[in-house]
Structure 1
Amino acid sequence: MQIQQSFVDLQTETGVMRTYVYRPVEEGQYPAIIFYSEIFQQTAPISRSAAMMACHGFVVLVPEVFHELNPIGTVLGYDDAGKEKGNNDKWQKPLLDHDTDTQALVKYCQAADFCTGHVGAMGVCLGGHLAFRAAINPAVKAAFCLYATDIHSNTLPAPDEQQSFNLFDKVQGEVHFVWGKQDPHVPNDGRAKLYQHCINSGINYQWQEVNGVHAFMRDEGERYDGALALQMYQNAVALFQRTLR
């Protein structure tokens, strides 16, 4: 499918959130995927990932995840300065503010005349965490979470009872977790803790571990694994075609 790109400024409880919209050119209604970025916001690799998913017949929304903390349009570099700023933003923004962002995105999807109202979530790194977090919203039917950081460690800003690890029982949709075995951000003991928690919580989940490093989806730099990335896009498309149509 050929696609078009635009943006919309959504009002959230913590301010205006610039959101980039990728959707098919052909008129009609399509299911929506909220695509949560890394800490760097909408970089070129994130834009290409969103376009890849949209080409399969989805409306893909990429929100600026730290809109409260940066001017509209901010994109951080994949360098030490960008990493430091992005991590500082991550530790500063409460998880509950991400929840209200998700609600604004869901509301937009349910009202837009080019959306069916069916919503899924996808993300990488911090965005993988936020995609899982989005699945706590009952309107989100499925989540595809790539190397989701900080779920196992309960370290992002939130009261203990609101940490994502403690909210698995709130998830009603299907969750597909993908982990890199060579990813130091979610090491063996962290993955084992999460896997056991998936079993104990009774959520509807898929679990996939691959021989990949952190950020293997990012098609810039030495971490990129194109063969794995292609497989993940195919798996994500299959999940959303099954759950959102």
Structure 2
Amino acid sequence: MQITTRNLGLTVDDSLMRVYVAAPKPEGTYPGILYYSDIYQLGRPITRLADRLAGYGYVVAAPEIFHRLEPIGTVIEPNDLGRLRGNDAARRTEIAAYDADARAVLDWLKQDPNVSPAKLGTMGFCIGGHLACRAALQPDVQAAVCCYPTGIHSGKLGRDPADTLPRISEIHGEVLLIFGTLDPHVPAAGRQTIVETLQTTGVSHHVLLYDADHTFMRDDGPRFDPVATDCAWDEIIEFFNRTLA
């Protein structure tokens, strides 16, 4: 379906957070998705993916994850310097700040007239995959899609050690984990740690493995894999359609 896009501002901890919103154009009430970028924030490769999800019938709200450190509207270039800049911003952001941002966007989705407040999910890529998993700790999140999430297995997310894995039993909804077998940032041992924890705690989950590299869903770089991306999208839409029906 056709979509609309806009930007809105939410103030969190006295910092203005830009949120990119993509939503179905037809009038109606739809599930809401808290949607996370990778370390490069909201460039077009990321917003194109948000637009695509919205076209399937979801209100997608994507916050700038480094709004406390970067000027509003900043898109970090995906090159060597950008990688250093993005990783440094991630390192300097407190875990509590990430959690406060998640709560702010979820609360906004719940009051939006086009969102069904009982149907909330989350999705993210790379660090955003970790943030999506962490957002699933919120009791009103029913479904989480975590695409090649970094730092869950190692406890690395921000300024403080992340307690996401020890708290995984707090997830009430379902989790879909998407990994590339060639991803050096989430090696096989790390994937196994995450999956074993989910199994031990009884959290409902599904794991998809593709013969692909890290960030294989970004369409602006050499690691882009269109076949794996299309296959992953089929699974993502089926997952959200089922869990947020």
* TM-score, normalised relative to structure 1: 0.96
Post-superposition shift, 1:193? Answer: 1.4
Amino acid paired to 1:134? A
Q: Does 1:149 align with 2:150?
A: yes
Counterpart position of 1:171:
171
Separation of aligned partners in 2, 1:60 and 1:231: 21
Q: What per-residue deviation string (whole Å, max 9, x for no partner) do you get for residues 101-154 of structure 1?
A: 011011101101111112100011001001101100011110000000000001
When the two structures are aligned, how many residues end up with a matched partner? 244
Aligned counterparts, 1:37-52, within 5 A: 37-52=37-52
Moved >4 Å (runs of 4+): none
Secondary structure of 1:164's partner?
coil
Distance in 2 of aligned mates of 1:24 and 1:85: 34
CA distance in 1, matches of 2:167, 2:127: 17
The match for 1:227 is: 227
Any unmatched runs of 5+ in structure 2? none
Once residues 14 and 155 of structure 1 are traced to their aligned partners in structure 2, the CA distance between those partners, rounded to angstroms, is 25
Partners of 1:86 and 1:123 lie apart in 2 by 16
CA distance in 2, matches of 1:150, 1:14: 27
Does 125-134 or 148-157 show the bigger shift? Answer: 148-157
Report the equivalent of 2:19: 19
| Identical residues among aligned pairs (%) | 37
Correspondence for 1:64:
64
CA contact (8 A) 2:38 2:126 kept: yes
Matched, 1:132 2:133: yes
How do residues 82-121 of structure 1 correspond to structure 2 at under 5 angstroms? Answer: 82-117=82-117, 118-121=119-122
Q: CA RMSD in A?
A: 1.2
Give the distance between the partners of 1:143 and 1:4, measured in 2 at CA.
Answer: 23
State the Cα distance separating 1:157 from its structure 2 match: 3.5
Determine if contact 1:96/1:158 at 8 Å carries over to the other structure.
no
- TM-score, reference length from structure 2: 0.96
* Counterpart residue identity of residue 121, structure 1: T
Please tell me whether residue 7 in structure 1 is matched to residue 7 in structure 2: yes
CA contact (8 A) 1:14 1:97 kept: no
Unaligned runs of 5+ in 1: none
Cα distance in 2 for partners of 1:46, 1:97 equals: 22
